[in-house]
Amino acid sequence: MKKLCIIAFSVLASAVAISASDTMPVYLDPSKSIDERVEDALARLNTQEKIDIIHAQSKFCSKGVARLGIPELWTTDGPHGIRPEVLWDEWEQAGWTNDSCVAFPALTCLAATWDPELSLLYGKSLGEEARFRGKDVVLGPGVNIYRTPLNGRNFEYMGEDPYLASRMVVPYVKGLQSLGVAACVKHFALNNNELNRHTTNVIVDDRALYEIYLPAFKAAVQQGDAWSIMAGYNLYDSQHLCHNARILNDILKKEWNYKGAVVSDWGGAHDTMEAITNGLDLEFGSWTNGLYAGASNAYDNYYLALPYLDLIKQGKVGTDELDDKARRVLRLIMLTAMDNCKGNGSMCSKEHYDAARRIGHDGIVLLRNENYLLPIAKPSARILVVGENAIKMMTVGGGSSSLKVQREVSPLDGIRSAASSLGMSVDYARGYVGDITGEYNGVVTGQDLTDSRSAAELIAEAKTKAAQADYVIFVGGLNKSAGQDCEDSDRASLSLPYDQDNVIMALAEANSNLIVVNVSGNAVAMPWVKKAPAILQAWFLGSEAGNSIADVIFGHVNPSGKLPFSFPVKLTDNAAHHLNAYPGTKRADSEIVDLEYKEGILVGYRWHDTKKIKPLFAFGHGLSYTDFEFGKLSADNSVMTADGTITFTIPVTNTGKMAGAEVVQLYISDPKCSVMRPAKELKAFDKVWLEPGETKNVTLSIDRDALSYFDADKHEWVAEPGDFIASVGSASDNIKSTLKFKLK
Ligand code: GLC
């Protein structure tokens, strides 16, 4: 399609050119390479025009060059749906009536699918909605590593493991960009909590930086070819990430040879000279502090606007950096706004709803299922649904990823419609009242969740109804309000809010057929875990939430999700909190909060396995309605040569009665190494679908990169010759077979 477009366009263009006497200018000619077009355009720009295109002109767009027919650039949130239109210089709604979207599951759910194919589908679907809305850059995906369960934005990211996040972010970027819509991978880097997000100065050793916090960004730009990247609000080396010499110049642009554009987070730039020299290319949302204060339409006062132009006019700075910034921004515009062959996209299509529902299906994690309580199949079963999260809209709120959806099927509605078609009855009890608000930036849920009854009355009602039901489904967890799963705030504890633990314990007393559905983007404490025979981790699933959940509960879909992050039993079982390495210490003489990542590389299961602290549920854990049997692990070689690979094979059989999928995970250990290494590290995985009785030989290949650690002193990756162990299983705490091999 794209090729055809280009031919058609250049035929038309050359026709125009002939009639227009001279040939088409290179910068407009889609048959020329992007680099040729960029250089040609750059040569035509004057200094003012170069300054114009490297900073915002409104909340979400930056200037083009009208004189040359170079269009302005439109950005939009968010990673799991296209944000409703806001006013030119406000966060408030523009009041459009045709900008309701499909909300796709939040990215923790996508990561939990462990299925790169779904990630490609996700990126394409989102790209179509962005294209339809005329957007050139989607401000996402986010791939900050899950370091603390309290981080308010973990729901937007892809978990605790750099390899899983790397594998899952690349197809999303490729899918999105196949529509001519740029990804803007965020928040680069080390933005791992929201508390003090503008002032936290992260202190982390190079080994953890390179092994844990950079890989997903590196994969997104090198394998995914992300056309832009968003620098975070926080600081590193006491320098803001939006103009951080080490992260942006030394690592991103030199070591990784990045040719794309670095976009500031909104209000993330703080200094003109640093912004000039330290790698910022496109500034959004500063001076007016980009968020909620300052003069309106103050875009000429941005650090890369008049202040920069003045320095040039005064001869205090040259224009080399300006040319580099303008080059990168021109490239971004040409790849997106000037690509005339990317189609018109589509919005709220059946395909997008189907994609949202399917990603929900494959991302929901079955944490527990004692005696196969699930799926519910009892004819004419009487079901009681309890909990505010069964009815509360979750697509509004949470910060910049908040959406205005065309529809959102609630868990209660999804369960009701599925049950009724199965001849089952469904009743509802509120159980508790949490947060009855429902508005963000002028988008309102329209729900009235008020309930004046006391907690005791609510629990009494739920208990009474539970005693008369065959099954009780408690739908609780977190929500998108401040202090929950929400930008610009962190949770204060690992516990469920609103006294939900009491409600769950009361329900367990009244009915042993209790199913708990935890709607959250974060781990939560589960003191009642043994009282709930079935537990589903259900994420923020977007427009099709209720249908995805019901499809799993009633067995229309066999759950196959695996946790992208560990659930600690208690907060201090998590590395950062065990070492009191959160939220950091405020400096006496400034606003800056120094936060040292004392755990180094031991993040998540790396910590739990190495320190032998058993998690409540482990990274990679997820059950199925069927059973899988793993055979013996074998390898095509017992020795890996320096530039060679090793391919492992393990037979997996579906020994149950239901078709299902298993994620076969390969972890590598380096038992004798000159440096401390985690007990094991994820280095390959494959998701396989098996019919009942079917066996597949799953193969997983690795090369020496998978055996390497980052030697900070040598500043290079090192794989020490000697013995290694390959461990293959269905979870990080469920290894089925191991095999020793050597690196020569
Ligand atoms: C916000 C977020 C960022 C978002 C941007 C625009 O503060 O940090 O993720 O894309 O501003 O809304």
5-8: Cβ within 8 A, 24+ apart? 5/340, 5/341, 6/30, 6/31, 6/341
Q: Return the closest-CA partner of residue 156 out of 121, 118, 194, 127.
A: 194
pLDDT at 686: 98
**Per-residue pLDDT at 176 exceeds 80:** yes
**Per-residue pLDDT at 11 exceeds 70:** no
Ligand 1 midpoint to CA 303 (Å): 18
pLDDT at 89: 86
Q: How confident is the model at residue 286 (pLDDT cuts 50, 70, 90)?
A: low
pLDDT in tens, 601-615: 999 999 999 999 999
pLDDT in tens, 310-328: 999 999 999 999 999 999 9
* CA 468 – CA 466 distance, rounded (Å): 5
Q: Return the closest-CA partner of residue 220 out of 255, 257, 172, 176.
A: 172
- Work out the burial of residue 585: count CB atoms within 10 Å of its CB; fewer than 13 is exposed, 13-18 middle, 19 or more buried: exposed
* CA 68 – CA 487 distance, rounded (Å): 39
Ligand 1 midpoint to CA 198 (Å): 12
Is 265 touching ligand 1 by the criterion CB < 6 Å?
Answer: yes
Q: Mean pLDDT score of the chain, rounded to an integer?
A: 95
**Kind of pairing between the strands at 425-429 and 382-386:** parallel
Ligand 1 midpoint to CA 514 (Å): 39
- Atom number in ligand 1 closest to CA 139: 10
**Per-residue pLDDT at 83 exceeds 60:** yes
pLDDT at 297: 67
* CA 431 – CA 429 distance, rounded (Å): 6
Mean of pLDDT values over 178-186: 98
Q: How confident is the model at residue 288 (pLDDT cuts 50, 70, 90)?
A: low
**Per-residue pLDDT at 476 exceeds 90:** yes
Catalytic residue among 265, 339, 490, 670: 265
Angle between helices 320-335 and 34-44 (to 10 degrees): 130
Residues 6 or more apart whose CB falls under 8 angstroms from that of 580 comprise 598
Mean of pLDDT values over 528-556: 98
* CA 128 – CA 117 distance, rounded (Å): 17
- Extended strands (E) in 599-705: 628-630, 634-635, 639-640, 645-654, 660-669, 681-690, 695-703
**Per-residue pLDDT at 61 exceeds 80:** yes
- Atom number in ligand 1 closest to CA 266: 11
Is 194 touching ligand 1 by the criterion CB < 6 Å?
Answer: no
Ligand 1 midpoint to CA 631 (Å): 47
Q: Diameter of the chain by CA atoms?
A: 86
Tokens of 493: 């504890």
- Min mean pLDDT across 296-300, 327-331, 378-382, 546-550 is at 296-300
Which residue, judged by its Cα, is nearest atom 8 of ligand 1? 265
Q: Would you say the C-alpha torsion 494, 498, 499, 500 has a positive or negative sign?
A: negative
Catalytic status, residue 265: yes
pLDDT at 12: 52
The phi, psi pair for 193, rounded to 5°, reads -155, 160
* CA 310 – CA 305 distance, rounded (Å): 9
Choose the residue to mutate in 487, 488, 489 for probing ligand 1, maximizing ligand atoms within 8 Å of C-beta.
487
* CA 536 – CA 517 distance, rounded (Å): 5
Q: How confident is the model at residue 1 (pLDDT cuts 50, 70, 90)?
A: very low
Which residue, judged by its Cα, is nearest atom 11 of ligand 1? 266
Element (H, E) at 174: helix 162-177
Q: Report whether 284 contacts 251 (CB < 8 A).
A: no
Mean of pLDDT values over 653-664: 98
* CA 400 – CA 187 distance, rounded (Å): 13
Mean of pLDDT values over 506-525: 98
Ligand 1 midpoint to CA 266 (Å): 6
Q: How confident is the model at residue 17 (pLDDT cuts 50, 70, 90)?
A: very low
Neighbours of 447 (CB within 10 A): 14
CA 648 to chain centre: 30
- Atom number in ligand 1 closest to CA 91: 12
Which residue, judged by its Cα, is nearest atom 10 of ligand 1? 139
Residues 6 or more apart whose CB falls under 8 angstroms from that of 667 comprise 680, 681, 682, 683, 726, 727, 728, 729, 732, 735
pLDDT at 2: 44
Neighbours of 117 (CB within 10 A): 12
Which residue, judged by its Cα, is nearest atom 12 of ligand 1? 400
Q: Return the closest-CA partner of residue 449 out of 474, 479, 419, 427.
A: 479
